[in-house]
Every structure is written in C-alpha cells, then in structure tokens.
Amino acid sequence: MTWQCRLLGRIMAAILLFAVGATEAAVRNYTLYITAGSHTINGAGGATLSAWGYSDVAGSPKIPGPVLTAYEGDTVNITVVNNHTLNHNFVIQGVTTDATAIAPGGNRVYSFTASTAGSYLYSDTLNSAINREMGLYGALLVGPADGSNKAWTNGPSYSFQRTWVIGEMDKVRWNDVAGSGGTVNTSIYKPNYFLMNGLGGFDAMGDPNTTIDGVVGTSALVRIVNGGQFSHALHFHGNHVQVLTINGVRQISPYKLVDAINIPPMGTADVLYVLNQLGEYPMHVHTAQMETANGVYLNGVATMIMMH
C-alpha cells in the first residue's frame, strides 16, 4: 500500500517535474534500532527463539528488519541505534562499505545516493555470522528514478512486487546460546527453522506480503534476498520465472526461464513471475529439511501462488 501511494506521488511529481524539465531526488530518512528479544515461529513445530533484530520502532526486534525503499537518485540517510549490549554494525551489500562497529548505546548514520535499481541485503557483518544468524538482516529495494513499475529504467515491467527475505535459525546451538550470552561454536550449524520474511511456511502461505496473489495476466517482481547461511533452492509451481538479476547483476533479454533457482548465502535475485493460468500452486524450497519447522512439514520455506 505504502509503495503504491509513494509510487502515485512519484508519478505525479515526475509529471510535474517533467513539465518544468527538472529532475527530482527525494531525501529518505530511516532509523533502525538494534534490539534483543525473541522471535516466534507459529504453528506445529514452531517455537519462540532468542533473536536480535533491526527494528523501525525501539522496543522489540523485527525479523527480518524493515524493508527499506528508495529510488535512483534519492538521498538515503539511515541512522542505526544500538540498543543492545554487544557491538553491531550495518552494511548494505553492494551499497555501503562502512563496517565500523557501533558500541552499545551508540549510533551511526549511513548516507548514500541510491544509484542502481535492484534488491540489496543489509546485515550486521560482525561476530562470525552470529549477529546475522540472530536476525540482523533485511532488504533495501531501489526502484528506477522515474518511480515506474519497472525492475530498472527501461527494464522489464511488473504489476506488483513481493520481497522474500529468506534465512534460517539454529535454535539449540546458536539462538539459545547467543541469546543467553554464551559462546556459539560456529563450526557447527544445523538450523531447524527456515524462514520467509521471518515466517514459517504455515504463516507464509497466508501472508499477503509473501504470497504471489493476483489476477491472471498480471506479473509479480519477486525480490529474493538470502540473509541465511544455507543455499536456498526455490522451486516455483504453475509457471517458470524470468531471471532478471542475480547477485545484483542485470541479465540480458531474453531472460532465462527457470522453475528452480538457487539463492546462496547473502545472495540476491530478482525474478518475474507471470500469472499465466488460473489455479493455486506452492512455491517451496526443494531441499529436504528446509521445508520444515523442526521437522514439521511445510512450516519451512514455502508459500502460495494464487492466480484468479
């Protein structure tokens, strides 16, 4: 909703500016609070895990962090406030390079001009991936300067978009240990929770921000960002997808058509799903345990594609 509203504003502004022959660049200010708390996976097999997250409201963590949006040319200022008892940082892969630690109680401002439309992973790169595993990751989306529903300027058009921030958590060996101040043995990682936008599959299959749900003839730009440490091999039923970008690299038309795509740890991809036929279909990871929540089938990385 906010995206559409913003978009409408952008289009109107663009028309106005076009009339006077000027370019427009907005200033976007975000504040993220690093917070310790818990994260709950609902449904059978689910659990409440110790977690750390970036949140747009101080108080409790958000897993993943909020989706940040900007358009090419915008000035983006992100203030990160560390409300936790450990050092943390904030790096947008491919966008910012300042990996300086923010001490407990401190804050730091990251300013940049959004320059290349696409999907980016932001995360805490400190502490041997423990900070990221605890939930400190999220997505930045950059749209084209004209604010249009295109993957990039003069790129492929879409009707609506979805962002899938995927990841995993190892409750026993990582979250329980780091959450209580212990030392994680990072050489062993056996995640038992596999998440889409912080959700197990039972929630993700009904979450309007996650499901591809629309009218036949429309198309969804699906922005996939892997904050986890496992490769996620996603399989789409119902239709193949067009691969538009891989790890920020724009592909060349005609775009490759695949029904399975692998997103490696900290990898990203933008794919276009054309809603081609009536029906209901799953989208799920094709690796055994990653479809489950602690072994409970379909409460892992899975969502629905609803075409009507």
Partner 1 sequence: MFPANRMKLSLVAALLCAPLAYTTAQAANINVTRNVSSLNKTMSDGVRVTFWTFSGALPAAAVEVGVYPDGTTTTDTLNLTLSMGMMTPQDSAPYNGHTIHMHGADVKTSEDGVPETYNDVNGDTYTWTPTRDMAGSYMYHCHVHTVKHLEMGMYGPLIVRPKNASGTWLNQLTHNTATAYDYVQNYVLSTVDPAYHTATGDSTVFADYNPKYYMIAGNEGKTTGAPAISLTAAKSKKVALRLIGIHSVSSTFTVKDGSGNAKPFTIYTQDGRALATPQSVTSLDISPGQRFDVIFTTPSTAGTWYPQVTYKNLRDGGTYTNGTVYGRVTF
Picking from 87, 53, 255, the residue whose alpha carbon sits closest to that of residue 155 is: 255
Smallest separation (angstroms) from partner 1 to the CB of 203: 15
Smallest separation (angstroms) from partner 1 to the CB of 76: 32
201: region left, alpha or beta (phi > 0 left; psi from -120 to 50 alpha): alpha
Q: Is the CB of 2 or the CB of 253 nearer to partner 1?
A: 253
Q: Is the CB of 26 or the CB of 233 nearer to partner 1?
A: 233
DSSP 174: I
Q: Is the CB of 16 or the CB of 237 nearer to partner 1?
A: 237
Smallest separation (angstroms) from partner 1 to the CB of 165: 18
Picking from 210, 173, 166, the residue whose alpha carbon sits closest to that of residue 189 is: 173
Kindly tell me the burial class for residue 308, based on how many C-beta atoms sit within 10 Å of its own C-beta (0-12, 13-18, 19 or more).
Answer: exposed
Smallest separation (angstroms) from partner 1 to the CB of 59: 31
Q: Is the CB of 82 or the CB of 211 nearer to partner 1?
A: 211
Q: Is the CB of 13 or the CB of 296 nearer to partner 1?
A: 296
Picking from 106, 104, 137, the residue whose alpha carbon sits closest to that of residue 120 is: 137
- Three-class secondary structure of residue 254 per DSSP: coil
Interface residues toward partner 1, by CB under 8 A: 44-45, 189-190, 192, 229-231, 233, 235, 237-240, 254, 256-262, 265, 276-282, 284, 286-292, 294-298
State how far the Cα of 160 lies from the Cα of 144, in Å rounded to an integer: 15
Smallest separation (angstroms) from partner 1 to the CB of 88: 23
Smallest separation (angstroms) from partner 1 to the CB of 120: 22
Q: Is the CB of 28 or the CB of 173 nearer to partner 1?
A: 173
Smallest separation (angstroms) from partner 1 to the CB of 270: 17
Q: Is the CB of 112 or the CB of 189 nearer to partner 1?
A: 189
The residues near 103 (Cβ < 8 Å, ≥ 6 apart) are 82, 87
Please, are residues 34 and 84 in contact by the beta-carbon 8 Å criterion? yes
The residues near 194 (Cβ < 8 Å, ≥ 6 apart) are 166, 167, 168, 200, 228, 230, 232, 285, 289, 290, 291, 292, 293, 300, 301
CA atoms within 13 A on the CB side of 102: 24
